[in-house]
Amino acid sequence: MTATFTALTTLPGKQPAEALGDALERLDPEPAGIGVFEIEDGSGLWEVGAYFTESPDETALALLAAAFGAKPFAVSQLPETDWVAKVRRDLAPVQAGRFFVYGSHDADKVPDGVEPLLIDASMAFGTGHHGTTLGCLRALDRLAETGFAPARVADIGCGTAVLAMAAARLWPATILASDIDAVAVEVAQANLDANGLAGRVACIEAAGFDHPDLAAAAPYDLIFANILKGPLIALAPDLTAHAAPDCVVILSGILNEQADQVTQTYAELGNNPVSREVIGDWTTIVLQKKA
């Protein structure tokens, strides 16, 4: 197996971070991959990381860090790992109420009497193992227990579309799944095909509700938005405008200490808090729009 080296740093601002990422591409030896991500803690810092299959030039990294006002790169060698075996071990099947989320390597473990959802590890978020996705699936399961039967469903920031697929397993509704990331939309469509749900969910590349198909299908009876606090708060007026009276809104991607602020933002727009569930560091919130 090939050795892998990582070089990680942080610096303030999107533009300097992206410029540093571009500069890393010109290193020798060349990195095998580069990532530039905003750290979602309100600090304004961005993380820049590079991955190498041979030991990187630490002098060149130090010069780049100084040139772009970044902290010195932390360079480390990852232990050799059988990644296929690791993914299979880490992504054990997850049960969330009636839903059973599994990878293709565990197809022989699907029990009777569940709603199976096949999700292989991919570039899109949402395997059911993260507290945010798990919380949404549990909330959906509890909602179905009440006899709720939506005619129109939207999954905003759908990732793998696991939530949209879960809804499609329960109801013959019109279901739209959107994501700002084109790769996520492709992954979502592939997952629908793999689960025999092609044609049941429309996958759309869009930011929030900014797409004519999402507008045409409104108002919605059930809306998922499993993203992050900042986008959720920004989305609140538009989401509420696309919600039918009595629409159930399931929100996640919210750190526990952010839950009150998100709840208050949506409540002020006429969405009554119904319940919340804490799973690890994350909170899932269920609200219902006033009739």
Residue 156 lies in a domain: yes
C-beta neighbour count of 125 within 10 angstroms: 20
Residue 100 lies in a domain: no
If asked whether residues 136 and 73 sit together in one domain, one would say no
Residue 269 lies in a domain: yes
If asked whether residues 278 and 165 sit together in one domain, one would say yes
- Give the burial class of 108: count Cβ atoms within 10 A of its Cβ; 0-12 exposed, 13-18 middle, 19 or more buried: exposed
- Among 78, 95, 116, the domain-final residue is 78
CA–CA gap between residue 191 and residue 25 (Å, rounded): 33
Q: Which stretches in the chain have pLDDT values below 50?
A: 1, 83, 123-124
If asked whether residues 158 and 273 sit together in one domain, one would say yes
- Sequence-distant (6+) residues with CB within 8 A of 180 are 157, 205, 206, 207
If asked whether residues 207 and 280 sit together in one domain, one would say yes
For residue 62, the model assigns a pLDDT of: 96
For residue 123, the model assigns a pLDDT of: 44
For residue 205, the model assigns a pLDDT of: 94
First to last CA, the chain: 59
- Sequence-distant (6+) residues with CB within 8 A of 138 are 96, 97, 277, 284
Q: Please name the residue ranges forming H helices in 151-258.
A: 162-170, 182-194, 212-217, 229-241
If asked whether residues 147 and 70 sit together in one domain, one would say no
Domain of 64, in residue numbers: 4-78
Between CA 130 and CA 170, with CA 205 as vertex, the angle to 5 degrees is 55
Beta strands (DSSP E) in 196-268 are 201-205, 220-226, 243-255
Residue 123 lies in a domain: no
Residue recorded with tokens 């399961």:
141
For the chain, how big is the Rg over CA atoms in Å?
Answer: 21
Q: Report the run of H or E that residue 143 belongs to, with start and end.
A: helix 131-145
In this structure, the strands spanning 174-179 and 4-12 are unpaired
For residue 83, the model assigns a pLDDT of: 47
Give the domain CATH number at 51: 3.30.70.260
Give the domain CATH number at 267: 3.40.50.150
In this structure, the strands spanning 220-226 and 152-156 are parallel
If asked whether residues 136 and 69 sit together in one domain, one would say no
For residue 60, the model assigns a pLDDT of: 95
Residue 93 lies in a domain: no
Q: Report the run of H or E that residue 51 belongs to, with start and end.
A: strand 45-52
Residue 83 lies in a domain: no
Question: pLDDT tens digit string along 33-44?
Answer: 898 888 867 788
Residue 117 lies in a domain: no
**Is the overall model pTM greater than 0.75, yes or no?**
no
For residue 109, the model assigns a pLDDT of: 83
If asked whether residues 145 and 284 sit together in one domain, one would say yes
Number of independent structural domains in the chain: 2
Question: pLDDT tens digit string along 84-121?
Answer: 555 555 556 788 899 998 888 778 888 999 999 998 75
Residue 121 lies in a domain: no
If asked whether residues 48 and 141 sit together in one domain, one would say no
Q: Are 171 and 146 in contact (CB under 8 A)?
A: no
- Among 78, 101, 116, the domain-final residue is 78
For residue 264, the model assigns a pLDDT of: 97
Closest CA relative to residue 88, chosen from 105, 65, 108, 109: 105
CA–CA gap between residue 33 and residue 24 (Å, rounded): 10
For residue 288, the model assigns a pLDDT of: 98
If asked whether residues 54 and 183 sit together in one domain, one would say no
For residue 124, the model assigns a pLDDT of: 44
For residue 142, the model assigns a pLDDT of: 96
